Amino acid sequence: MSNLVSVAIHLFRETLESFLAGRFPENARVLPQSARKFTNFRPKWYGRSLKKTRLMTVHPDFCMRKLSMDELDRLSVEEFKAAEKFPYSVLLDDVRSLNNVGSVFRTSDAFRVSTVYLGGITGTPPHRDITKTALGADESVHWEHVPDAVGFCKDLKAKGVRIVAVEQAEASVGLPDFQPEPGGEYVFVFGNEVFGVNDKIIEIADLCLEIPQYGTKHSLNIAVTVGIVCWDFVHKRLAAKE
Ligand SMILES: C[S@@+](CC[C@H](N)C(=O)[O-])C[C@H]1O[C@@H](n2cnc3c(N)ncnc32)[C@H](O)[C@@H]1O
- Do both 89 and 51 map to the same domain? no
Give Dmax (Cα) for the chain: 91
Strands (E), 51-126: 88-93, 116-119
Encode pLDDT of 55-99 as tens digits.
444 555 556 788 899 889 899 999 999 999 999 999 999 999 999
Encode pLDDT of 5-51 as tens digits.
766 676 666 556 555 555 554 444 444 443 333 333 334 333 334 44
- Do both 58 and 75 map to the same domain? no
- Ligand 1 centre and the CA of 50: distance in Å? 51
Report pLDDT for 163.
98
DSSP 196: B
Q: Going by CA atoms, what residue is nearest to atom 1 of ligand 1? A: 193
Q: What is the reported pTM?
A: 0.78
- Do both 94 and 210 map to the same domain? yes
Q: Could you give the CA distance from residue 151 to residue 90 in angstroms, rounded to a whole number?
A: 16
Q: Counting atoms of ligand 1 from 1, which one is nearest the CA of 209?
A: 21
- Do both 169 and 86 map to the same domain? yes
Encode pLDDT of 101-115 as tens digits.
999 999 999 999 999
Print burial letters for 52-86: b (CB count within 10 Å at least 16), e (below 16): eeebbeeeeeeeeeeeeeeeeeeeeeeebeeeebb
Q: Which residues line ligand 1 (CB under 6 A)?
A: 166-168, 190-191, 193, 195-197, 210-211, 213, 218-220, 222, 225
- Do both 92 and 193 map to the same domain? yes
Least confident among 64-73, 99-108, 193-202, 229-238: 64-73
Q: Could you give the CA distance from residue 95 to residue 118 in angstroms, rounded to a whole number?
A: 8
- Ligand 1 centre and the CA of 225: distance in Å? 8
Average pLDDT over residues 202-231: 98
- Do both 174 and 200 map to the same domain? yes
- Ligand 1 centre and the CA of 220: distance in Å? 6
Higher pLDDT, residue 36 or 192: 192
Q: What domain range includes position 18?
A: 2-63
Q: Could you give the CA distance from residue 131 to residue 110 in angstroms, rounded to a whole number?
A: 15
- Do both 32 and 132 map to the same domain? no
Q: Are 142 and 86 in contact (CB under 8 A)?
A: no
Tally the domains of the chain: 2
Q: Could you give the CA distance from residue 124 to residue 100 in angstroms, rounded to a whole number?
A: 11
